[in-house]
Structure 1
Amino acid sequence: MIHHGGCKRAATTNWREPKLNEEDPVVDMDNHDLQHPRTRSYKWLIRVAAYIVFLLSGQSAATLLGRLYYDKGGNSKWMATFVQSAGFPILIPLLIFFSPMFSKSTKSTRTQSPTKPKLSSLAFVYLTFGLLLTGDNLMYSYASLLAVHSDSDTTKISRAKYVIGFLCTLGASATYSLYLSLVQLSFEKVIKRETFSAVLDMQIYTSFVATCSCVVGLFASGEWRKLGDEMKVYEEGRVSYLMTLIWTALTWQISSVGLLGLIFEVSSLFSNVISTLALPVVPILAVIFFHDKMDGIKVMAMILAIWGFISYIYQHYLDDAKSRKDETNVTEVAGGTTEMC
């Protein structure tokens, strides 16, 4: 979790690192085994790297598949919203595998897992995040739909819809940032479990609520009546229509696991920065697969995304160097005081 005492690096960048106290062993809460601090540090780095790969690859693939859905005839914003959360069942086997019942070791250690949170608290957290995620995904889907239609030669978008699309884009970005911050806060204040199963719980139950909300929206809006015709007129055929939706759902789940994993292991800020790093990747892939033109706006967006990522890493490097220097000075002062005594 975030260190609150004496370390300016953590307070400035919310960077969360594993405890590296050479004197005390560290307990892995997933298998209750004592581990050397250096071993845990390496495992932490591997986990963070894996989550980054999940987030970047999943988000890039899901964005391109969503673009394919709209380009080939898809037109349902509620269906596009539905697939962003409906793939959660693929995570259930992982949740069962990492559950305490399947833990291979039951050895007792001096470090015990914290008290489980109340069921009512967890239900409130998952329900709130599910509804928040539904609203964010809906705004994202609507903005993407208008963006695709604005590039079409046959479809004209009114000024009012442009304004709505712009507001949806801003709203989705703001809601997304709020969601990341609240998820990190819930991990620290409510869930309080340092396990991968906690990440899976958050993703599965939140996605379940979001999926149920999308089903309600799909039927309430009447878009479900048009899905049969949408499948028939889909340019690549019915099988391609279904496979596009299925793979979009799966890739969004991969992306979400990476997102939550980075929030859990590092911070919501770092997770957001890595998510932003996918922005330069998508236009390049779109040029390759959709033969898009690389215009000045896309190039500028890529430069800003890369610049933001490099700035974050550089600032963390400066804060880390200053923190190490301060710790060294404190150690030297403490050593000098001991000698004088």
Structure 2
Amino acid sequence: MAIYSILVLTGQSSATLLGRLYFEKGGKSKYMAALVQSAGFPILIPLLLITSSKNKPTRPENFALPALYICFGTFLAFDCMLYAIGLMHLPVSTYSLLCASQLGFNALFSYILNSQKLASFIVNSIFLLTVSTILLIFQPGPPGAGTGTGGKFALGLTCTLTGAALYAFLLSLEQLAYRKVLKGQTVNEILNVIFYESLVTSCLLLVGLFGSGEWRGLKDEMEGFELGGKVYVMVLVFGAFSWQVFGIGMVSLILKVSCLFGNVISTLNVGVVPVLGVVVFKDSMCGLKVVALVLAIWGFLSFVYQQYVDEVKSRAENVNSPPRD
């Protein structure tokens, strides 16, 4: 689990910072920023070939997996666009704090879809993350250079918050669906989930990129990038790679533990990315944002403590339970 957790943390934090760097230094395409979140899937091909030779694939109904890939890939394409618009108009510190609300949404959807218990500390965590989000909504804008003002700032807040809620719902739904279909939950199956979902997502976003006409401005965008054309390409390539690293870690945690645990690990970045945003991008850190950060971290710790209490209780019950005949 430690390896998967590291993949989630490093992949998400680096991808978020690179995504903000893209917009900060001259990137303008929403579809390109969204496409980067899924387009790195070809790097999984060597791993798929290696793992397929070591694992005998399970054989669910012929229609089950392709249908799930198309359904979840389409859902993910829409969510990628929401996150791209949010990152386009928000400083990375505000964006990251809003994404922390995903943990609260996921606890709620896990309760509805996956029978996750909502103990007192989890409810407290949801409350704190909700208050943290409300504070961010009412913080004075504009928050920093290169970000949206007025209506665009409000659009960024709305899209990020909606994206966090929808992604939390998607994770809970994936846990429910894939645990019924993927009986073995092998490394190869995990990679197949990421590969085919990303393939569907990328195809849909490519259609959007060409259909919207944004592709016509990519050459000028690259030539006008403040750090140079080569760095422009590197930002997109490493961003795509980072999102795939995050995806491998997250899907692995969903299948091996739960989507709620994956979100807990992801939320660890709430204390890292905002600070890096202030250092790297000179984001402003007003009083409301500081309070929101403290509440978000408090909510995360409250959630982790409940997981610790549940684990201790579970171990005690296992020790005291009588042996079976």
Q: TM-score range by the shorter chain?
A: 0.7 to 0.9
Task: Please tell me the residue identity of whatever aligns with 1:127.
Answer: I
| 1:153 CA displacement | 5.6
- Which of 129, 149, 152 aligns to 2:72? It is 129
Higher helix share: 2
Greater Rg, structure 1 or structure 2? 1
- Which of 215, 224, 228 aligns to 1:237? It is 228
Aligned to 1:3: none
CA distance in 1, matches of 2:270, 2:38: 21
Q: Which whole-Å deviations, capped at 9, do the CAs of 1:77-122 have from their partners, x for residues lacking one?
A: 00000000000111111111111x345xxxxxxxxx8951123111
Q: Superposition pairs for residues 175-186 of structure 1, below 5 Å?
A: 175-186=166-177
The change in CA–CA distance for 1:150 and 1:133 in structure 2 (over 3 A counts) is: farther
Q: Greater RCO between the two (CA within 8 Å, min separation 6)? A: 2
Contact 1:187 1:193 in 2 (8 A): no
Contact 2:89 2:155 in 1 (8 A): no
The change in CA–CA distance for 1:213 and 1:317 in structure 2 (over 3 A counts) is: same
What SS class does the counterpart of residue 63 from structure 2 fall into? helix
Q: Superposition pairs for residues 28-177 of structure 1, below 5 Å?
A: 48-99=1-52, 101-102=53-54, 116-148=59-91, 150-151=142-143, 157-159=149-151, 161-177=152-168
| 1:150 CA displacement | 4.4
Task: Please tell me the residue identity of whatever aligns with 2:253.
Answer: L
Contact 1:114 1:192 in 2 (8 A): no
Task: Please tell me the residue identity of whatever aligns with 2:25.
Answer: K
- Of 76-85 and 279-288, deviating more is 279-288
Contact 1:277 1:305 in 2 (8 A): no
Identity of counterpart residues, as a percentage? 46
Q: Which whole-Å deviations, capped at 9, do the CAs of 1:273-311 have from their partners, x for residues lacking one?
A: 111111211112223333434433443343233223322
What SS class does the counterpart of residue 70 from structure 2 fall into? helix
Question: TM-score when scaled to structure 1?
Answer: 0.75
Contact 1:283 1:298 in 2 (8 A): no
Structure 2 unaligned regions, length at least 5 = 92-140
CA distance in 2, matches of 1:271, 1:185: 14
Q: Which whole-Å deviations, capped at 9, do the CAs of 1:32-82 have from their partners, x for residues lacking one?
A: xxxxxxxxxxxxxxxx10011000001000000011101000011000000
Aligned to 2:302: 311
| 1:188 CA displacement | 1.1
Contact 2:31 2:214 in 1 (8 A): yes
Q: Superposition pairs for residues 248-263 of structure 1, below 5 Å?
A: 248-263=239-254
Q: Which whole-Å deviations, capped at 9, do the CAs of 1:293-339 have from their partners, x for residues lacking one?
A: 443344334323322332222212222232333344432xx79xx9x
